[in-house]
Structure 1
Amino acid sequence: MDRTATLTAMKQAITPACMALGVFLAASTAARADFRLCNNATSRVSVSLAYTDGEMWVSEGWWNLKPGACETLVRGPLAAEFYYVYAMDERGGEWKGKAFMCTRDREFRILGREDCYVRGFDRTGFFEVDTGKEAKNWTVQLTDPAPARPNP
């Protein structure tokens, strides 16, 4: 067999295998489920996340995201319907809410949401993200707040 015939035979054998691998990779990518957060604001943000693992509340942080960056905060299918997010930017802006969780200034993973101050933590208001009962993945998009309008 000459070299051209050998290369042609190899291509014919490899092409179906590569196509099968491509279909497998596409299927595994489509099946992936995560809780992601994207920073669509104009400055860097620091993000913390809270959720229940079915038995206990967990809060953790900090993820630092540059403008335009996305980060996976929870890998795999979502186990909870509600997640809670707190974020702040370099300019002092905040994305917050009324669900209070324990945090601290440096990297953390805190179990429980009670007695934050007594346990030496800060108490921070997180906003609720309702992913629905059937969601397997979710992405939160942080954007700059609308500028306040002056009163006439």
Structure 2
Amino acid sequence: MNSGFPVHSIRLGSTLLIAALGGLVAFATPAQADLRICNETANLVSVSMGYRAERGWMSEGWWQTPPGDCRVLYQGDLQRRFYYLYAVDDIGGGAWDGEVFMCTRDETFTIFGVEDCLARGYERTGFFEVDTQNRTDWTLQLTESAGAPAVVGPDLGEDLEDPAFLVDPDAPLTPDKTDTQ
């Protein structure tokens, strides 16, 4: 006489195996790529970003990033090679800036265009260039180096403190650079 125990064990085992394989498939999906910024300073930092969008140049902000935390500035695979960032230490003062000028304002903003910022009621702010080297995922760390702000890129802790290192010296210092994809 068959007690049904082996059949029940086989069904339970099959169900657990299918559930485990389903879990592996869920974890095997590719991770989403992003442009992230991490605050490795002791103070709250506010960050704004600019890039060439479908409608032309666009700047937006602010992402507040507490000490030791990261924020996603652009979600998904990066579609452009160049992005432009401006960050300010909300408590200690100082900024991570550059010589590529875009429009900003004190409140949350999305601004199209980089021309005539002051005439349009915005501030004219210098952003530094981030060359993602056509990668789909990029993380920057804002750090303080001997009291001065520094930016560390994703490659081997490379120190990108000098914005001139980030901007091609032969290129015009305006966002007229053509993005290569």
Partner of 1:107: 108
- Residues 103-150 of structure 1: per-residue CA shift (max 9 Å, x gap): 0000000001111001000000011100012x01100111113237xx
Matched with 2:158 is none
Change (3 A) 1:31 1:93: same
Q: CA deviation at 1:27?
A: 2.6
- 4+ aligned runs moved over 6 Å, structure 1: none
Quick check: 1:75 aligned with 2:75?
yes
1:88 aligns with 2:88: yes
How far does residue 54 in structure 1 lie from its aligned partner after superposition?
Answer: 4.4
The RMSD of aligned alpha carbons is 2.1
Cα offset, 1:33, TM superposition: 1.0
| Counterpart mapping for 1:2-151 below 5 A | 6=8, 8-9=9-10, 11-28=12-29, 30-89=30-89, 90-133=91-134, 135-147=135-147
Distance 1:136 1:118 in 2: 36
Q: CA deviation at 1:12?
A: 1.7
For residue 2 of structure 1, report the CA deviation from its aligned partner: 7.7
Structure 1 pair 10/39, CA: closer, same or farther in 2 (3 Å)? farther
Give SS of 2:114's match: coil
Separation in structure 2 between the aligned mates of residue 146 and residue 47 of structure 1, nearest angstrom: 21
The structure-2 alpha-carbon separation of the partners of 1:130 and 1:12, relative to structure 1 and needing over 3 Å to count, comes to same
Q: For residues 10-58 of structure 1, give each alpha carbon's deviation from its aligned partner in whole angstroms, at most 9, with x where no partner exists.
A: 6523333333333333332x44111111111111100001011244011
Q: Which has the higher contact order (CA 8 A, sep 6+)?
A: 1
- Determine if contact 1:101/1:116 at 8 Å carries over to the other structure: yes
Gaps of 5+ in 2: 149-181
Separation (CA, whole Å) in 1 of partners of 2:19 and 2:133:
37
TM-score w.r.t. length of structure 2: 0.72
| Gap runs ≥5 in structure 1 | none
Q: What is the CA deviation profile of residues 68-89 of structure 1, one whole-angstrom value per residue up to 9, with x for unaligned ones? A: 1111111111111000110011
Percent identity between matched residues is 45
Is the CA contact 1:53–1:80 (under 8 Å) kept in the aligned structure 2?
no
In structure 2, give the amino acid aligned to 1:113. Answer: V
